[in-house]
Chains A and B, each alone.
Chain A
């Protein structure tokens, strides 16, 4: 099928508004992955998000994720400059961004090449390519275009050249600003989506602008639809099940920000850092309307100290950051642990170490957040596995911080940060909010660190409470908060801080198992890989393999019952987005192999020979990759019985 659509005739036909339609091949699909990419500022992102929203309203499962160039303004037409969206739609719930794309829409051939080179497109997939470059005045550009197009055709891609510029110029003075809605119309046609929903969507996104803007964008939309109708020889239908409850479509960072708002926290102190900043951006916009404050501090050390100061006075505060910022906060976090000041910390992980890959996906900070800050500094660590989790984990985190007077770290990552997935609209409950700050007098004889002998918990006194005056300190201290170097007291304090984790652990329930509780292979994951792992496992189970998975939300303390789950399987493997040595590397053997973070933790705690498979390619782990990896392991296990 290596045909370049004979362009001139069809393009002309469409331009003249002719009804000369082509024969359509309508196919019903279970799921599909679409990528839309342009230079920055050409609106591919808006197009992708709108397409996702329309599909969600139709009742399709949807997952959208941004394609972000590393630079703010990469040169036009550059291979590294692709900006846009990947949208996966399905006839059922979609939990991740999926495998290689089935359709790619590109505003120029260079950004397309970037995705081809990154291996993000399915071999032989459909490419809808802006053709204005073919006749560009600059012979070099025209040459690059022809060369790429021919190469893609030769490699088996189904390339359709689309006269986006020409079609749009008839409607708007600057087609560069309108192409995205043309493409949206085209995609609505291809996926048989309801154009009324698309028109509503345009009215929604341009709602603040005047009616002319809306009508010209609707015209672009309809022209795109008509062009596809007249010129493309394929059409799809992804059956949808209409949602019965209201759903919200937001990305992970927006979910975190809304979670902060819903949790009743009042103060967020932060310093800008990718990919966490968008949460603070959004929060800055909405928080003040509800009486909250986002403080942009001079650096992350200050942001952390500021949040600690705010929390100290009574109500838990939050600080939001990513890897490098987290490293800077560590001394402050140790102080909060030692002085037992509650605090919520969000770490939206990116590639590390050092500046690493700021916009890319990685799960490299687990051990750092668990063990980081010098000395024994027990903290609670939670990792949301879905967009919905991002929202609720903030409410949980605030409550845990307050109940246990502990630091609670929420570990999100770059894949959740910009991905959107519909989930049932949260119903606000006043129970989510913090109680008012206690300003009652402290009873005579009460001590600021009256550690309960069993749970380690104590009730803290905050400024404003008469009779509760004491100086808290990061130095070792006794129950009265007096500096103490006494060996007994030091051990008592350490024990109390540690017991709080055990106390919390006793209130947790075992993690659910996806699949049977016994079998050949168990996959354990945490954080943003959940959707990909469960999709791969479901597929393998469908093929008759005895494989299950479990996904950990609490990394510290770990939920009870995990040991029993692990022992129900012949082999256990973690799938994670961090580094682990390949056992087949010539220098690597059991005495030096570095396991991935979770595998190391599980091995140490449960004495089970947990293996790991990891990837640090800067992008979300694909369900197909996990599938292939697990299938190989299963084949081995199944023949070695």
Chain B
């Protein structure tokens, strides 16, 4: 085979179709925003030609955490709140794998909050999708930390008591933060663009996705879905370029340099209009797996040598 045909051959092999990433039939409710996120992910895997066997989707527990089951890659549907540490273990042991995390607002911001903060600090190279529907879906409508104050739910029948936590400002407040973006499930094109940028960033890419849950909080995002002017599209040469077609609909645009963390924090604080795009990106933050020298092959001689050197320190030799 000539070099050229080899190359072609390789190209054919590395070329994937959407079906290559499609697992079972999703069981989410009709109109659930998770469907759009799944579609964007499958498209991303295809376009980036991620080898399915080298790709792992890790999740916790919740409606959103079902996503790995619908991918035809490796998947790890873990336990509630612990997707991030599981993903970290995977990445440290196998930096050669593409790691994605799907987590809900309860999963990430409530039960898994400690891990979330520390995952930002570790800055391991993985893409994290926060499916933020402002409610607990799987357990049937309880308030989540991101539920707006006054949200009526089964545990807050007279409305929730506390101001919502902002996953964006929290993430932007943690040392070593390296990538923060916001997307919404109802603008698929921008969702895809943002996820692609997140995937391509080397580090902990955190994407908060506002996700509709028609089953329990059908009206949560309706005002924004119906009024494109209440969306704030972040644009920049180093960020996302909004396509001409989208520009026509979403005319409310803001040039924002993702290198500017102070501005990012200001924008992140805005609940209305909803900012969409890359808030912050810093490719210089070191990744924990690099700092720890992960992925090096160990030889038996290395183990033997180290063990013997240690045992020497403690050995009593026969006189």
* A interface residues with partner B (beta carbon < 8 Å): 53, 56-57, 59, 242-250, 254, 258, 261-262, 264, 266-267, 269, 286, 288-293, 295, 297-299, 301-303, 305-315, 317, 331-332, 334-335, 422, 425-426, 428, 430, 433, 463-475, 482-483
For B114, the chain A residues whose CB sits under 8 A away are 298-299, 302
Having A242-B318, A311-B93, one finds 7 other A-B pairs with CB under 8 Å, namely A248-B314, A290-B306, A301-B82, A302-B114, A313-B97, A425-B311, A463-B56
For B24, the chain A residues whose CB sits under 8 A away are 482
- Contacts A/B (CB < 8 Å), 14 sampled: A53-B316, A59-B319, A266-B93, A290-B305, A295-B88, A298-B114, A298-B118, A311-B89, A335-B79, A430-B300, A464-B54, A471-B68, A471-B76, A472-B76
Check B89–A314 contact: CB distance below 8 A: no
For B297, the chain A residues whose CB sits under 8 A away are 291
Check B303–A262 contact: CB distance below 8 A: yes
Check A463–B94 contact: CB distance below 8 A: yes
Interface: B87 (CB within 8 A): yes
Binary per-residue interface labels of chain B (287-319) against chain A in the complex, 1 for a CB within 8 Å, 0 otherwise: 000001110111110111111111100111111
Interface: B202 (CB within 8 A): no
Check A433–B300 contact: CB distance below 8 A: yes
Decide yes or no: A463 and B318 within 8 Å by CB, A298-B114, A309-B89 being known contacts: no
For B299, the chain A residues whose CB sits under 8 A away are 291
Check B298–A298 contact: CB distance below 8 A: no
Interface: B74 (CB within 8 A): yes
Check A266–B298 contact: CB distance below 8 A: yes
Q: How far is the CB of A473 from chain B (nearest CB, A)?
A: 4
Partner of B314 from A249, A298, A433, A482 at Cβ < 8 Å: A249
Check A246–B86 contact: CB distance below 8 A: no
For A59, the chain B residues whose CB sits under 8 A away are 319
Chain B interface size band reads 35 or more
Partner of B93 from A303, A313, A332, A465 at Cβ < 8 Å: A313
By DSSP majority rule, is chain A's interface helix, strand, loop, or mixed?
A: mixed
Partner of B77 from A264, A334, A468, A471 at Cβ < 8 Å: A471
Check B93–A247 contact: CB distance below 8 A: no
Check B298–A290 contact: CB distance below 8 A: yes
For A426, the chain B residues whose CB sits under 8 A away are 307, 311
Partner of A428 from B68, B69, B115, B303 at Cβ < 8 Å: B303
Partner of A295 from B292, B310, B319 at Cβ < 8 Å: B292
For B55, the chain A residues whose CB sits under 8 A away are 463
Number of A-B contacts (CB under 8 A): 202
Decide yes or no: A57 and B306 within 8 Å by CB, A317-B93, A474-B79 being known contacts: no
Interface: B150 (CB within 8 A): no
Check B317–A246 contact: CB distance below 8 A: yes
Check A244–B89 contact: CB distance below 8 A: no
For B293, the chain A residues whose CB sits under 8 A away are 288, 291, 293
Check B319–A264 contact: CB distance below 8 A: no
Interface: B273 (CB within 8 A): no
Q: How far is the CB of A327 from chain B (nearest CB, A)?
A: 15
Interface: B73 (CB within 8 A): yes
Q: How far is the CB of A381 from chain B (nearest CB, A)?
A: 22
Partner of B115 from A242, A249, A288, A302 at Cβ < 8 Å: A302
Check B316–A309 contact: CB distance below 8 A: no
Check A335–B78 contact: CB distance below 8 A: yes
Q: How far is the CB of A395 from chain B (nearest CB, A)?
A: 11
**In the complex, A247 Cα to B317 Cα: how many Å?**
7
Chain B residue at smallest Cβ distance from A254? B314
Partner of A463 from B72, B97, B308, B319 at Cβ < 8 Å: B97
Check B317–A309 contact: CB distance below 8 A: no
For B79, the chain A residues whose CB sits under 8 A away are 305, 331-332, 334-335, 474
Q: How far is the CB of B175 from chain A (nearest CB, A)?
A: 14
B3-57 at interface with A (beta carbon < 8 Å)? 23-24, 51-57
**In the complex, A99 Cα to B290 Cα: how many Å?**
52
Check B310–A286 contact: CB distance below 8 A: yes
**In the complex, A242 Cα to B305 Cα: how many Å?**
28
Check A464–B97 contact: CB distance below 8 A: yes
For B56, the chain A residues whose CB sits under 8 A away are 463
Most chain A CB within a 10 A radius of its CB, from B90, B97, B309 = B90
Interface: B71 (CB within 8 A): yes
Q: How far is the CB of B116 from chain A (nearest CB, A)?
A: 10
Binary per-residue interface labels of chain B (60-84) against chain A in the complex, 1 for a CB within 8 Å, 0 otherwise: 0000000011011111111100101
Check B69–A471 contact: CB distance below 8 A: yes
Most chain A CB within a 10 A radius of its CB, from B24, B53, B87, B307 = B53
**In the complex, A288 Cα to B117 Cα: how many Å?**
26
Q: How far is the CB of B121 from chain A (nearest CB, A)?
A: 9
Check A483–B69 contact: CB distance below 8 A: yes
Decide yes or no: A242 and B319 within 8 Å by CB, A331-B79, A464-B94 being known contacts: yes
**In the complex, A464 Cα to B55 Cα: how many Å?**
8
Check B77–A312 contact: CB distance below 8 A: no
B206-264 at interface with A (beta carbon < 8 Å)? none
Check B93–A471 contact: CB distance below 8 A: no
Chain B residue at smallest Cβ distance from A474? B79
For B94, the chain A residues whose CB sits under 8 A away are 313-314, 463-464
Decide yes or no: A245 and B82 within 8 Å by CB, A295-B92, A306-B88, A471-B77 being known contacts: no
Check B53–A290 contact: CB distance below 8 A: no
For B118, the chain A residues whose CB sits under 8 A away are 297-298, 302
Check B307–A261 contact: CB distance below 8 A: yes
Check A469–B73 contact: CB distance below 8 A: yes
B138-177 at interface with A (beta carbon < 8 Å)? none
**In the complex, A242 Cα to B318 Cα: how many Å?**
7
Interface: B85 (CB within 8 A): yes
**In the complex, A433 Cα to B301 Cα: how many Å?**
11
Check A463–B307 contact: CB distance below 8 A: no
Q: How far is the CB of B128 from chain A (nearest CB, A)?
A: 14
Partner of B53 from A299, A463, A473 at Cβ < 8 Å: A463
Check A425–B89 contact: CB distance below 8 A: no
Decide yes or no: A474 and B78 within 8 Å by CB, A291-B298, A302-B85, A309-B89 being known contacts: yes
Interface: B108 (CB within 8 A): no
For A471, the chain B residues whose CB sits under 8 A away are 23, 57, 68-69, 71, 74-77
Interface: B189 (CB within 8 A): no
**In the complex, A425 Cα to B314 Cα: how many Å?**
9
**In the complex, A433 Cα to B292 Cα: how many Å?**
22
Interface: B58 (CB within 8 A): yes
**In the complex, A311 Cα to B308 Cα: how many Å?**
26
Check A469–B315 contact: CB distance below 8 A: no
**In the complex, A475 Cα to B76 Cα: how many Å?**
11
**In the complex, A470 Cα to B51 Cα: how many Å?**
14
Decide yes or no: A307 and B89 within 8 Å by CB, A246-B317, A290-B302, A472-B76 being known contacts: yes
The 9 closest A-B pairs by CB, nearest first: A309-B89, A471-B75, A305-B85, A290-B306, A291-B298, A310-B89, A306-B89, A309-B86, A310-B93
Chain B residue at smallest Cβ distance from A433? B300
For B307, the chain A residues whose CB sits under 8 A away are 258, 261-262, 290, 426, 428
Check B54–A308 contact: CB distance below 8 A: no
**In the complex, A244 Cα to B318 Cα: how many Å?**
5
Check B300–A302 contact: CB distance below 8 A: no
Chain A residue at smallest Cβ distance from B57? A471
Partner of A289 from B85, B306, B314 at Cβ < 8 Å: B306
**In the complex, A291 Cα to B82 Cα: how many Å?**
27
Most chain A CB within a 10 A radius of its CB, from B54, B73, B296, B307 = B307
For A309, the chain B residues whose CB sits under 8 A away are 58, 76, 85-93
**In the complex, A334 Cα to B78 Cα: how many Å?**
11
**In the complex, A53 Cα to B317 Cα: how many Å?**
11
**In the complex, A16 Cα to B122 Cα: how many Å?**
64
Partner of B89 from A246, A289, A305, A483 at Cβ < 8 Å: A305
Check B115–A298 contact: CB distance below 8 A: yes
**In the complex, A292 Cα to B208 Cα: how many Å?**
34
**In the complex, A302 Cα to B117 Cα: how many Å?**
12
Check A246–B316 contact: CB distance below 8 A: yes
Check A247–B292 contact: CB distance below 8 A: no
Q: How far is the CB of B52 from chain A (nearest CB, A)?
A: 5
**In the complex, A501 Cα to B294 Cα: how many Å?**
34
Q: How far is the CB of B184 from chain A (nearest CB, A)?
A: 26
